[in-house]
Amino acid sequence: MYKHISVLLEESINYLNIKKDGIYVDCTLGGGGHSFEILKRLESGHLYAFDQDEYAINQAHIKLDSLDKNYTIIKSNFVNLKDKLNNLGVNKVDGILYDLGVSSYQFDIPDRGFSYKYDAPLDMRMNQSQDLTAEIIVNEYSFHEIMHLLRMYAGESFAKQIARNIEKERNIKRIKTTFELVDIIKKSLPQKVLSKKGHPAKKTFQALRIAVNDELRVFEESLNQALDLLNKEGRVVVITFHSLEDRIAKHIMRDRTTINVPRNVPIMPNIKPDFELLHRKVVLPSETELQNNNRAHSAKLRAIKKL
């Protein structure tokens, strides 16, 4: 059993403002921590939870079954949020939660290939039935494509050097494991970088994971669907661990809470946006949580309500 500690748990539950008879969606079931707390607060209400990962779903069933409450797990990418809910007869909901990034299960199970700490196949798929893996990207994408991914998804300063050395090594033999890739990354970086705190492969692994799972596109599409699904007074809460994810959430929420009036057109007093932000500044983990859960360090929470 792999331990999963939910990040910003109390804050996210508070912002959802759960009603006992409400309909709620956890778009990122993962270890089931957030779903468990939502379900605890429901009586006649229902929870729908999305996940692509068979292992996470099986573990979550064990956790959630102990509550004897109404819930449905949907094995699908949350980009299919609206279609999957509509197929179940659900057209409006009272709250939706996103806890983005990789779950503890995926990081801590070596053969999933998400971590640079374990020697494993270069996989990184959240949905293990899909074809694209990190191994395919590393061995079959062009030098320019790999360099672009490292720069765009991770801000890797040495993207060119890493991509070039990947190209050289795969011409000798196919790069198949995480440690083989880690060695290439280390050879690509100057000693002053290698001597700094933090693992030298962190950015490259992050970029590959985002690319394999198309994380940014599917999140943007799903978040827009989520806002359209809300009942009046319904809420969406988003927890991110990466600046690009947070930027998507910030911009979409800003757009939905702003009235754009053309120049020279008087603002009518009865024109109001359909949504409002539930806090002025981004919500960060408390010092206590940071001490107890190392994975909370990059977490940010944003919440929005439909008027």
The amino acid at residue 297 is H
Give the span between the Cα atoms of 50 and 288, in whole angstroms: 29
2 assigned to some structural domain: no
Same domain, 203 and 136: yes
- At 199 the pLDDT is 94
**Residue 49 belongs to domain with CATH number:** 3.40.50.150
**Domains: count for the chain:** 2
Q: Which of 180, 213, 246 is the last residue of a domain?
A: 213
Enclosing H/E stretch for 92 = none
DSSP 122: S
Same domain, 207 and 222: no
The candidate with the shortest Cα–Cα distance to 304, out of 285, 282, 271, is 282
pLDDT-based confidence at residue 269 (cuts at 50, 70, 90): low
Residue linked to tokens 């440690």? 179
Residue 77 has pLDDT above 80, yes or no: yes
**Residue 174 belongs to domain with CATH number:** 1.10.150.170
Domain, as residue range, for 41: 9-99+215-306
Same domain, 222 and 207: no
pTM for this predicted structure = 0.90
Same domain, 207 and 219: no
Strands annotated E in 223-292:
230-240, 275-277
Residue 16 has pLDDT above 80, yes or no: yes
Range with lowest mean pLDDT among 76-85, 252-261, 282-291:
252-261
Residue 1 has pLDDT above 60, yes or no: no
Q: Which of 189, 213, 237 is the last residue of a domain?
A: 213
pLDDT digit string (tens) for 278-303? 999 999 999 999 998 888 889 999 99
Enclosing H/E stretch for 162 = helix 159-172
Q: Which of 163, 194, 213 is the last residue of a domain?
A: 213
Same domain, 224 and 208: no
Please classify residue 62 by burial: count the beta carbons closer than 10 Å to its beta carbon, then call 0-12 exposed, 13-18 middle and 19+ buried. Answer: exposed
